[in-house]
Amino acid sequence: MAASASHFLHPLNQIQFPKCPHLFTKSHFHPRLLRSQTQRFNIRATSAVVVDSPLDLSTKKDQGTQVDLFACPICYEPLIRKGPIGLNLPAIYRSGFKCKRCQKSYTSKDGYLDLTVTSGLRDYVEVQPNRTELFRSPLVSFLYERGWRQNFRQSGFPGPDEEFRMAQEYFEPAKGGRIVDVSCGSGLFSRKFAKSGTYSGVIALDFSENMLRQCYDFIKKDDTLSTTNLALVRADVSRLPFESGSVDAVHAGAALHCWPSPSNAVAEITRVLRSGGVFVGTTFLRYTSSTSWVARLFRERSSLGYGYLTEEEIKDLCTSCGLTNYSCKIQKSFIMFTAQKP
């Protein structure tokens, strides 16, 4: 989920928006394109029928039905789908999903499909870390694109339009495939990916119910997005509801520092990426090589529960999870990094 570092933010009535020069035309950010030597395979969203008895996929295939793009977050088995075909909001909302192995069912509500392990539970409540719970708040979700995200410029973020342009250059090898925008927040970049027409499908994925509701509200106000191949999914970044090797690209904007376990999340991202798939992320750095020792000491003590990493730690994390071709661009505390699955 896209989130901001607490020590970079102030109450909204105290925010000063600096007159930062735009980086659109004279930006120093020129990401190096990743070239895949591997042939890319696109996966088409299909539908299938849910029945209460155990399913025989061989017989269902003869009836014109197939397993779906989404997988069970418990078993990682492809879900069986009953409903209209399509990776758009109306089709998914009218569909039911069920795991053949564990028989757990998943449905949509408030415009998004809930594919968390705890989906449908009545009594059990799982308490998340404070940095996760903060962005499940209706107030923070409402304010995210109404002042909160704009404050990132003070830490070196070039702005959504420039960040999108940079990410698109990195995602060139994934053109025509499916992209998952993990920790998408209110869907700021998910909507840009969908409107670009670059991808066959966009999955906006977040753990926060209220962020997804905000994303749904923004989509409803934009007629060009209502029938695009854009799906809203509630899921845990450390338990992604996709088969291994089924995704062409993964984006994580201003998110890594909010994850309870970045190593588990990056490992999951690596698992779902196809060979040659691209991962692009942005986050706040704890400090850089040019940061003074006084500033480093202050930032070490003022993280307030967020997992700020250094550039060296981010690179080590990506490579340890099996990703290659790592590169990054840094401005002040902002970093955009990318890596590719071999």
| In a domain? residue 52 | no
Spatial distance between the Cα atoms of 311 and 167, rounded to a whole number of angstroms: 18
| In a domain? residue 47 | no
Contact status, residue 120 vs residue 105, Cβ threshold 8 Å? yes
| In a domain? residue 135 | yes
| In a domain? residue 129 | yes
Domain of 154, CATH number, reads 3.40.50.150
| In a domain? residue 257 | yes
**How many independent structural domains does the chain possess?**
1
| In a domain? residue 220 | yes
| In a domain? residue 26 | no
Angle, in degrees to the nearest 10, between helices 209-220 and 188-196: 40
CA atoms within 13 A on the CB side of 281: 30
Sign of CA dihedral 178, 239, 306, 337: negative
Q: Going residue by residue through the chain (342 aa), what tens digit of pLDDT does each one get? A: 444 333 434 444 444 434 333 444 344 444 444 444 444 434 343 333 333 333 333 334 333 344 688 999 999 999 999 999 899 999 999 999 999 999 999 999 889 999 999 999 989 988 888 778 888 999 999 999 999 999 999 999 999 999 999 999 999 999 999 999 999 999 999 999 999 999 999 999 999 999 999 999 999 999 889 789 999 999 999 999 999 999 999 999 999 999 999 999 999 999 999 999 999 999 999 977 666 666 666 566 555 556 789 999 999 999 999 999 999 999 999 999 999 999
Q: What is the residue range of 281's domain? A: 124-341
| In a domain? residue 109 | no
